[in-house]
Amino acid sequence: MEQEEIKDNTSLNFQGAAENGSQSDNSRPLRAPECAFGTRQTQNDKHSLTESRFMSAPDIKYMKRALKLSLKGEGFVNPNPLVGAVIVKNGRIIGEGYHQQFGGPHAEINALKNCTENPEGATMYVTLEPCCHFGKTPPCCDALIAAKISKVVCALKDPNGTVAGKGFLKLQEAGIEVIFGVLENEAKKTNEIFIKYITTNQPFVLLKSAMTLDGKTAAVSGSSKWISSEKSRMYVQKLRHRFSSVMVGVNTVVKDDPELTARIKGGRNPLKVVIDGKLSIPMNAKILAGEKVVIFTSFNANEEKIKRLNGLGAKVIKLPNANGKISLKAVMIELGKQNIDSVLIEGGGILNSHALNEGVVDKLITFIAPKLIGGASAPTFFSGTGIEEIKDALKLKHTRIAKIGEDIIIESDFLN
């Protein structure tokens, strides 16, 4: 099987592809219809995308550039989407930009500001439909119209059903040609977190695990530092920066006493989420020494300890406790209400099994190290009672494989 190698700690960015190298990706074969055609929204048919159009090499080239630019916003724009924009005039890039931070100017505005010459008559390549409403910033459509952009080539229609297509329509009514669907699949991958959150009001959930070649996450003694390579661990730091929150169970807090910070230059620390039904978290846990901690516990948790935890800056949320377990579906709903668009699960076998059994996981990333541990009692990343029949096994799709340092990284989506 063909696979790629991640060099210089390059992030996969959830697309299974590094800048250099090949990949094994069953989800996005390079089929001609996906790579050669977009759709044109014409003024004669404002509410549908029906007229096919051949995508030129420049269309693909400039949209790839816009997608690459959008990734610079990772970790800084949540819960907004990642967006990049490139302005082209007479075959030359005259301006480009990306959405840099939540509440800041959108990619289109930054691209216009960075223009080296008058953008009148130019084409803008943008990875997401320009907005046409007032939010934290004015509508991008108005700026494009004012700048006399002649054509907008877009990868992805806004997945928010209440606004989808309205930006295109406004541009059309101003006489701007609109092309939609250029590298759409790549754009969906780039913004899978945003798409899940904006369409369900619940966070996108990635479960991360590291194991040996024989499927063990620790030795029989409990020793687990380190199973994965240094490059794999650095990649996890990037994931923590990218995701709005990182979740562990209280057993991981007791056993490993993690800090759960993003230890990369300029990295943003995620919200730390602890699942603790009995509120047994140690008061001196490192996770409580930092900022942004939320603990989910049961209604019968000790009120005095809740007050003490509140005094340390932790937020304690009580949820129904069924059979001794906190419902992770209820947790995800609650996190969505708090504008948390993504959750990185870094728990042990118990939390992992609860998450998988409840069906809250959207994607799985597994680091497999070229090591053997053995031992019937050595833990695995999916514990619990297990699934009795192979026909009932959890189904995965879109599996991608890459090499990172000494390890193999496997990324798969769930058939939710």
If you write DSSP's letter for every residue of 37-88 in order, what string do you get?
Answer: EEEEE-TTSTT---EEEEPPHHHHHHHHHHHHHHGGGTTTSTTSPP-EEEEE
Q: What is the pLDDT of residue 28?
A: 36
Cross-strand bridge partners of residue 326: 321
Question: Contact 319/298 with Cβ under 8 angstroms?
Answer: yes
Q: What is the pLDDT of residue 39?
A: 52
Q: What is the pLDDT of residue 416?
A: 60
**Non-local CB neighbours of 43 within 8 Å, separated by 6+ positions:** 172, 173
Q: What is the pLDDT of residue 176?
A: 93
Nearest residue to 157 (alpha-carbon basis) of 200, 194, 121: 194
**Per annotation, catalytic residue among 74, 108, 186, 192:** 108
Nearest residue to 4 (alpha-carbon basis) of 413, 399, 412, 404: 404
Q: What is the pLDDT of residue 412?
A: 92
Dig out the tokens for 86 from the structure.
């490139």
Question: Contact 39/56 with Cβ under 8 angstroms?
Answer: no
CB atoms within 10 A of CB 179: 23
Element (H, E) at 358: helix 349-358
Q: Could you say which DSSP state residue 287 is in?
A: G
Single pTM value for the model? 0.85
Rounded Cα gap, residues 17 and 25, in angstroms = 9
Unique residue bearing structure tokens 């990185």: 344
- How would you classify the pairing of strands 321-322 and 325-326? antiparallel
Unique residue bearing structure tokens 């199973």: 227
- 5 catalytic? Reply is no
Nearest residue to 151 (alpha-carbon basis) of 171, 173, 131: 171
Dig out the tokens for 311 from the structure.
């005094």
Question: Contact 85/109 with Cβ under 8 angstroms?
Answer: no
Please report, as a single letter, which amino acid is at residue 325.
K
Q: Distances from the Cα of 332 to the Cαs of 63, 71, 335, 337, 393, in angstroms?
A: 34, 25, 5, 9, 23
Rounded Cα gap, residues 42 and 44, in angstroms = 5
Per-10-residue mean pLDDT of the chain, 416 residues long, equals 46 39 36 38 42 70 96 94 96 95 92 96 96 79 94 93 87 92 94 96 95 85 82 93 96 90 88 94 92 92 94 93 85 96 92 92 94 84 80 86 92 82
Helix axes 349-358, 328-337, angle to 10 degrees: 80
Element (H, E) at 357: helix 349-358
Over its C-alpha atoms, the chain yields an Rg (Å, rounded) of 23
